[in-house]
């Protein structure tokens, strides 16, 4: 199950993608660059969330093994 960071990261990527598209359509370079930054930040945030999930899964497995 995805973490909150993964979901927020996906949302930021989508928001950035939309801003880039609107910026390209309107010729607004600042908006396009802001969208690219949002998208990149979303990718990082999603990656952080994935790492948190994997660490949590690994710790759960270790805990399950200790209980046996």
Looking from the CA of 35 toward its CB, the CA atoms found within 13 Å total: 17
* Whole-structure pTM value: 0.82
The two three-digit tokens of residue 23, written as one number = 């910026």
The count of structural domains within the chain is 1
Q: What is the pLDDT of residues 8-58, one digit of tens each?
A: 999 999 999 999 999 999 999 999 999 999 999 999 999 999 999 999 999
Domain range holding 23? 4-67
Q: State the Cα–Cα distance between residues 38 and 20, nearest whole angstrom.
A: 9
């Amino acid at each position: 199950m995805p973490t909150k960071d993964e979901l927020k990261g996906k949302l930021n990527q989508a928001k950035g993608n939309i801003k880039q598209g609107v910026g390209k359509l309107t010729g607004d370079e600042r908006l396009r660059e802001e969208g690219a930054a949002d998208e990149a930040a979303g990718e990082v945030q999603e990656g952080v969330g994935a790492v948190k999930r994997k660490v949590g899964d690994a710790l759960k497995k270790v805990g399950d093994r200790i209980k046996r």
